Structure 1
Amino acid sequence: MNNYKPKRIVSRLLSSAGITVNGNKPWDISVFNDHFYTRVLQGGSLGLGESYMEGYWDCVHLDDFFYKLLRANLDKSIRRSLRLKTEILLARLFNFQQPARAIRNGQRHYDTGNDLFLHMLDKRLTYTCAFWDNAHNLDEAQENKLDLSCRKLRLQPGMHVLDIGCGWGSFARYAAEKYGVAVTGVTISKEQAALAQERCAGLPVTIRLQDYRMVNEKFDAVVSLGMFEHVGAHNYPEYMRVADRCLKDDGLFLLHTIGGNETSAFTDQWLNKYIFPGAAIPTIRQIGQAIEGLFVMEHWENFSVNYDKTLMAWYENVSANWDKLKSRYDQTFFRMWKYYLLSCAASFRARHSQLWQIVLSKAGVPGGYTFSH
């Protein structure tokens, strides 16, 4: 294909979003390899991300570039490739989050290396959206979120809590230390489980390397922070049935999840390939259908703009600590991780992505559920 036409088409599309190729604004892009244009037209978001990883183009403020792109809905203007249509069809026909595949998918991301996350996250290793009201830094914002979650669950000393997708044990450790509860956490990541067990030593916390579908005990409360995105639409009903069977009749279930405005079989093509394989972002309708007949929705809060700040803080940490990481991770990895964090920050800033905390009960809280910050 003559490269002039792709260059003209891509330049025109970007211009419609206020982005100039080789312009001088911080959100403009500099193109170093003209194959960039055909890669974008042929591969859509996958071509855009891979060409960035390969150094075909760059941008001073990548988050601002994506913010302008997303606010202009430019992602919908670029024709979807045949490959993406095939992937969507397969995702609708097959369950990509079956237990064996779910373990492989989880390990692809969460077993990347604890050293990376130790240098990126807060001191408690909380890999979910922070809550920034009255917080001056990431550590305070994550403590805010953990405390917010405990208060929404109405935790009391002596209670036993199930943490589905416990990560490195940040919630389990905080809830045990601050609220006097016992916590059982489950994760499918070996790296997470090992470090979580180490960090929660001496507390009434049990960390299991276990698929959530295998849990079959009763708990006073159930919490899941940032794990539902890995469940997959085929498994939403089963996920909710597991939460239902594990929750005592008078208990509360807190679901903390990224949410989408439109139903989609996959996340972004590039994110699905390089960052979160098999992930899917739920919508209000999908969650509503999954909880129907099982739970009463007591409280639903959206604090998605907090994820923009959280992702920017994670990127700043990775950048500041890159000298400590670069012996293990090459420059292509750094560009991939930068692209991941900043494009996701822009998605929340542009309101394309949401962050929901949902409080559910089994039969409705007598007299009603109230919560105030």
Structure 2
Amino acid sequence: MASSYQRSESTTLHERLRETPRFLIIVAGPRQVGKTTMVRGVLASHAPERYTFAAIDSPEAAPLADTYRITAPTRQQLTKPRDGAWLVDVWQRARAAARAQADGHVLVLDEIQKIPRWSDTVKGLWDADRAEGLMLHVVLLGSSPLLMQQGMSESLTGRFETIHLTHWSFREMVDAFDFDLEDYLYFGGYPGSAPLVGDETRWRNYVNTGLIEPSIEKDILMMTRVDKPALLRQLFNLGCRYSGQELSYTKMMGQLQDAGNTVTLAHYLDLLGNAGLIRGLPKYAGQHHRRRASSPKLAVLNMALMSAGSGYNKAEAQADRSYRGRMVESAVGAHLHNTALPECRLHYWRDGNDEVDFVLERGTRLTAIEVKSGAVPGEHRGLKAFRNSFGDCRQLLIGDGGIPLAEFLSYPAEHWL
């Protein structure tokens, strides 16, 4: 990551830490999007004695600022298990620091999901702090979106605010790493892999072994019940291969070994989506039950996922016009998904031979989006048919003859509603 670059969410975290503590602060998002780096950058503006950064998976026994650190930890301290008792101990030390300082203290707990029943422990400690009126901000980070969501919904309802970090956008990769459009279409938006793009073999190995494999193994298989892990991996590869295309569950079952049933595939697709890997976009139908029953349109959430297993290098991907067209459409879909507000919904639409690549919905507002990467026909039948079926809405053509792709990718989804 460019050392001087700060994402916009940094400003939000700065503002939260200047307020009186009202809520736990959850910094959430997929693996390797810079959550820990962002929080450390914000803490750098604080005096060392004003914060505690405790990494659950770190070998350090005393993660407090130097003023409160135990010197020369013993072997027993270094190997102390990270469990509820350890969490209480760290929290109590942060409380002592908060009571000793007029402007309070910040406790950051990284990889919190690795502590068994973490949310129950956090709930009790946080409620006690609020009863005391303690000036202790608590920031929680976790690399497993699935387990974080489970813990927050089970015990912490009404007690937290979320700062959500998504995959890096085109504009962020331009500003931080001097990417151009073709760089972004192929290499995507992982900041950790950006310094490796000059050596594509090394870049590809890093994405496959350092990003994709941990996301599947640690964020899904180790954190939730998956009866057929080989099937989930096959489904991920299929989603990357067919990104930008509608694919029925029946067709998926025909290409997967031991595919089970459509319910299993739909569930595994949800798991992959929650981990920030691929989504199955539903068909827009106006009626929610018909959307759930539709064939999904597969969409990678970061272009690196599509490229790393494609078998193409960057030049080959650009030269294959059909493949590049799917790259463009996948990049538009990933951008809309990653930058949409929580209340927005993303779909596709098809009726016979008429189709619209993406439908962005928020309440009664609707935008139909057609993506073109080659010659543009004289009439855009899909957009016209969609308007005839659902009434007036905003209609966008992205690419040749419409909004330039780089311009579209430079604004969040809300801008196009």
TM above 0.5, yes or no, is no
| TM-score (normalised: structure 1) | 0.33
Q: Which has the higher contact order (CA 8 A, sep 6+)?
A: 1
Structure number with larger C-alpha Rg: 2
| TM-score (normalised: structure 2) | 0.30
